[in-house]
Amino acid sequence: MDIRNILVIRSATRILNQTLAALKKEFPQARVTVIAPLQVQDALKQDPLVDDVICVNGNGRMSLFNFGLGKIRDLRQRKFDLAVSVYNIDHGLGYSNVDLLTWASNAPVRRGYNPQGKFVSLTPPGIIKKYFLEKTSVVWVAVNYAATAVLFSLITLGLLAEWLLRKMSGGQESEAREKTAALDRLPAVKNQAN
């Protein structure tokens, strides 16, 4: 495929420059557009590897949901050939929101670049799976905490109930032992009297 128009989503600042350099080396004739926060617009416009900058307001995480429908329509109208998500970590977990933006751009080719300079292809099923894996992992942690708390409470209540039963039956057992001991002494007392 002939890649002439590239979208890079600036999600990981640490490896942005090396990713831009790798893209320009692989696709020297391609035009590179970077989505970035408004605060870094001037620096990116001066970068010789960047041809255009799309700014997003705010310091929040970049995601499909806070990007806005108007900007997503704009991305699709620009007809990008390649959309790139940049990761600060090798496996790319934690970047599913950005991966969704690459998919929303409608670029036929999508990649995720990691700090090693390697990339993975981002397919729609892979992006969705990663998104749900990330979002549901928090739920599973919460469920595990809740289950642990419930089990701890049940075990504590069980031990408390056992202690109470032993305490209650322990008092009755000692009374029975005292009566038995008293009865055992009775014949000895009778024998001494005779």
Q: Dump pLDDT digits (tens) for 125-140.
A: 776 777 766 666 677 7
The pLDDT value recorded for residue 190 is 55
Q: What is the pLDDT of residues 73-130, one digit of tens each?
A: 988 999 999 998 887 555 455 566 777 888 888 899 988 877 776 777 777 777 677 7
CA distance 34 to 8: 5
Q: How far apart are CA 173 and CA 181, in angstroms?
A: 12
Give the per-residue pLDDT at 12.
60
Q: What is the pTM of this model?
A: 0.62
Structural domain boundaries, residue 175: 140-194
* Per-residue pLDDT reduced to its tens digit, 7-63: 998 766 777 888 888 999 999 999 999 988 888 888 888 889 999 998 887 665 676
Q: Give the 3-state secondary structure of residue 115.
A: coil
Per-residue confidence (pLDDT) for residue 161, from 0 to 100 = 92
Q: Which of 62, 92, 122 is the last residue of a domain?
A: 122
Show the tokens assigned to 135: 């979002």
Q: In this structure, is residue 129 part of a structural domain?
A: no
Q: Which residues contact 58 (CB under 8 A, 6 or more apart)?
A: 37, 66
Q: What was the pLDDT predicted at 194?
A: 54
Q: Tell me, yes or no, whether 19 lies in a domain.
A: yes
Within this chain, do residues 117 and 145 fall inside the same structural domain, yes or no?
no
Residue 167 within any structural domain of the chain = yes
Nearest alpha-carbon partner for 110 in 132, 150, 81: 81
Listed in order, strand segments (DSSP E) in the chain are 5-9, 31-37, 52-56, 82-86, 109-113, 119-121
What is the average pLDDT across 141-148? 88
Angle of the 69-77 helix axis to the 96-104 helix axis, nearest 10:
50
Q: How far apart are CA 43 and CA 99, in angstroms?
A: 24
The pLDDT, as a whole number, for residue 72 is 85
Domain count, the chain: 2
Packing angle of the helix pair 96-104, 124-193 (nearest 10 deg): 150
- Are 40 and 11 spatial neighbours (Cβ–Cβ below 8 Å)? no
What lies within 8 Å, CB to CB, of 143 at 6+ separation is: none
The CATH code of the domain that includes 105 is: 3.40.50.2000
Both 114 and 175 in one domain: the answer is no
